[in-house]
Amino acid sequence: MSYAATHDQHDDHHGAPKGFFQRWCMSTNHKDIGTLYLVFALVMFFIGGSFAMLIRAELFKPGLQLMQPYFFNQLTTMHALVMIFGAIMPAFVGLGNWMIPLMVGAPDMALPRMNNLSFWILPFAFTLLLSTLFMAGGGPAGGWTMYPPLSLQSDSLAYVVFAVHLMGISSIMGAINIIATILNMRAPGMELLKMPVFVWSWLITAFLLIAVMPVLAGAVTMLLTDKYFGTNFFNPGGGGDPVLYQHIFWFFGHPEVYIMILPAFGIISEIVPTFARKPIFGYKAMVFAIASIAFLSFIVWAHHMFAVGLPLGAEIFFMYATMLIAVPTGVKVFNWVATMWGSSMTFETPMLFAVGFIILFTIGGFSGLMLALVPADFQYHDTYFVVAHFHYVLVTGALFAIIAATYYWLPKWTGNMYSEFWAKMHFWNSVIWVNVLFFPQHFLGLAGMPRRIPDYNVAFANFNMISSIGGFLFGATQLIFIGVLIHCAFFSKKKATDRVWEGAKGLEWTVPSPAPHHTFDVPPVIHDDELAHGHVND
């Protein structure tokens, strides 16, 4: 077989392979692997969501209602681990897998087999993690941050640490692949500063992943050796320090929260110009703002630890460095609004979620600024105010962006239009109930209700009940999402056009809908006015 003459080695050049195992387990196709990632993330979203429903059920009324505190602690820990590592991150990787090659005019990812391995590690890693719930002694209960000495008390630690190692390997390989794809596989003429903002956001996110996932691996390895091999990293009696773990963990953890939001910024920067029918305002500023946020993310980690007793100089440094992040983030929010300013907008579902993102994520950003103030944080630390803050940036931030992206690109993936009515039902119910769910938690936190407790003072009863009702209805609303997805993929009669959206620009809209199994076998010719950001103003 002569390889030089063919563009690739697929036996079946024009379509997907027939066998199920062949197609899904041995895949080297970025679209199939992207689909696997997205379906996996959706399953994990519902598993993590069911944990959240149990948590809100327990907190519906004061007093222990449904479960023992130890199980409650397992739920909060598992909810976070599953949502962060199982839902949000794989969903972004899935979107990157599907869209980056289409957006830069590449036939596939740079390292397709490693791509498949990156995905297939995940189901096994989560089997390992979730299996601890069914073991004697239960799952991890020390919080997703796994602070010692609490985390060292559970026998599940070994399983959790190895699961984190596997997820780390998966993330690093996925990130290497994305960097190599973006730097090495672009079609001729797709210069770096012509790339869509989504591609830029993933390039920078991938760098963050490679830089910090190994640090997390190191931190949990020290936990493992402290528990099972008699080392003393986190034992003051042996000269160690539990605060050391927090430093290493948050050196990973803070870039990690930007790993979960930068691709969301990229998505919003694709959607807003499409439905505003205007190029994005300040393309270069958007790119440089993402890069600035990524840089700053490395020098703010200790703002998670203001209350552990850091030296005063450290508290002041980390306070100011943290507040500095508001500058590039403000640039982004300003530019999204400026893109919409004076434009001819329509509000299809992706745009609704994008606008919802801009408003609600900004609320999460503002509460973040409050938390960044050291004296204020002494009051807010470990209260429901923190819970409200990070759910605003992760649910109405990261998750809303993922849902927006799903509606935006779904017609391109399936070839069918989704039901706009039900999608709008999904949006309006989500946006109402998510606020009923999380907004009262600000008040609870300011009033002093601590996080991670199954029982609370009766003074907090009303807001908790409101929050729980919002939670149940937000959870139920997501079933509409499933309905819309299944209907669109398998039953919808309404075919999508190639361009799908009137104002859509960029290479991904030049291929047919649904996108054929192989695209851009030959590099496309780039016309600058076909690109969303082709004419960059200097």
Partner 1 sequence: MGQQHDAYFVPAKSYWPIVAAVVMFTTVFGAAHWLNAEPGDAGFGKTVLTVGVIGVLGMFFGWFRSVINESLSGSYNHQVDTSFRMGMMWFIFSEVMFFGAFFGALFYIRMFSVPWLGGTGHGTLTHQFLWSDYAASWGANAGNGPEHIGGAFSTVPAWGLPLLNTLILLSSSVTVTIAHHALRAGHRGKILVFLGLTVLLGALFLNFQAHEYIEAYKELNLTLHSGVYGSTFFLLTGFHGLHVTLGTIMLAVIWFRVLKGHFNKDHHFGFEAVAWYWHFVDVVWLGLFMFVYIL
* Least distance between partner 1 and beta carbon 126 (Å): 11
Cα first-last separation, the chain: 49
79 is catalytic: yes
Phi and psi at 472, nearest 5°, equal: -65, -40
Q: How far apart are CA 154 and CA 420, in angstroms?
A: 48
How many angstroms separate the CA atoms of 200 and 375, rounded? 36
User: Catalytic pick from 35, 118, 154, 170?
Assistant: 170
Name the residue nearer to partner 1 (CB basis): 132 or 383.
132
Task: Please report the DSSP string for 42-80 in residue order.
Answer: HHHHHHHHHHHHHHHHHTTSSS--SS-HHHHHHHHHHHH
Q: Of 194, 227, 303, 412, which residue is the catalytic one?
A: 303
The conformation of residue 416, written as its DSSP 8-state character, comes to B
Q: Is there a contact between 473 and 64 (Cβ–Cβ < 8 Å)?
A: no
Is 329 an active-site residue?
yes
Q: Cβ closer to partner 1: 229 or 491?
A: 229
SS3 state at 477? helix
Q: Please name the residues in contact with 91: beta carbons below 8 A apart, sequence gap of 6 or more.
A: 37, 38, 41, 42, 45, 402
Q: Which is nearer to partner 1, 3 or 134 (CB)?
A: 3
Check if 13 is active-site: no
Residue among 9 and 537 whose Cβ is closer to partner 1: 9
Strand intervals (E) in 140-195: none
171 is catalytic: yes
Catalytic choice (304, 389, 412, 505): 304
231 belongs to the catalytic site: no
315 versus 348: smaller Cβ distance to partner 1 = 315
Smallest distance, partner 1 to C-beta of residue 75, A = 21
Let me know if 256 is a catalytic residue.
yes
Rounded to whole angstroms, what are the CA distances from 104 to 97, 189, 400? 12, 10, 25
Q: Which C-beta is closer to partner 1: that of 74 or that of 367? A: 74
Question: Toward partner 1, which CB reaches closer, 119 or 501?
Answer: 119
Quote the least distance from Cβ 51 to partner 1, whole Å.
22
Q: Is 108 a catalytic residue?
A: yes
CB of 186 to partner 1, least distance (A): 4
Q: Are 31 and 518 in contact (CB under 8 A)?
A: no
Query: At closest approach, how far in Å is the CB of 212 from partner 1?
Result: 7
> Closest by alpha carbon to 401, among 434, 357, 366, 443?
357
Clarify whether 487 is annotated catalytic: no
Cis omega (within 30 of 0) for bond into 514: yes
307: how many CB neighbours lie within 10 A of its CB? 14
Q: Are 226 and 154 in contact (CB under 8 A)?
A: no
Q: Residues 485, 491, 494, CA angle at the centre, nearest 5°?
A: 95
Query: Measured at the alpha carbon of residue 488, what is the angle toward residues 486 and 494, in degrees to the nearest 5?
Result: 155
Catalytic residue among 76, 297, 329, 383: 329
In contact, 347 and 275? CB cutoff 8 Å: yes
Query: Catalytic: which of 451, 487, 499, 517?
Result: 451
Q: Catalytic annotation on 533?
A: no
The encoded tokens of residue 534 equal: 């082709």
Tell me how far, at minimum, the Cβ of 80 lies from partner 1, in Å. 20
The secondary structure of residue 186, as a DSSP letter, is P
Q: Smallest distance, Å, CB 41 to partner 1?
A: 17
User: Do residues 408 and 271 make contact, with C-beta atoms less than 8 angstroms apart?
Assistant: yes
Give the length of the chain: 538
Q: Give min distance, CB of 391 to partner 1, in A.
A: 29
- Residues in CB range of 537: below 8 A, 6 or more apart: 283
Q: Which is nearer to partner 1, 95 or 209 (CB)?
A: 209
Which residues are 416's β-sheet partners? 495
Our answer to whether residue 292 is catalytic in this structure is no
Q: Which residue's CB is nearer to partner 1, number 11 or number 529? A: 11
* Active-site entry in 32, 108, 226, 315: 108
Cβ 185 to partner 1 shortest distance, Å:
6
Closest CA to 346 of 276, 410, 281: 276
Catalytic residue, candidates 254, 442, 518, 533: 254
Please identify which of the residues 32, 226, 256, 377 carries the catalytic annotation.
Answer: 256
**Residue numbers annotated as active site:** 79, 108, 144, 170-171, 254, 256, 258, 269, 303-304, 329, 332, 451
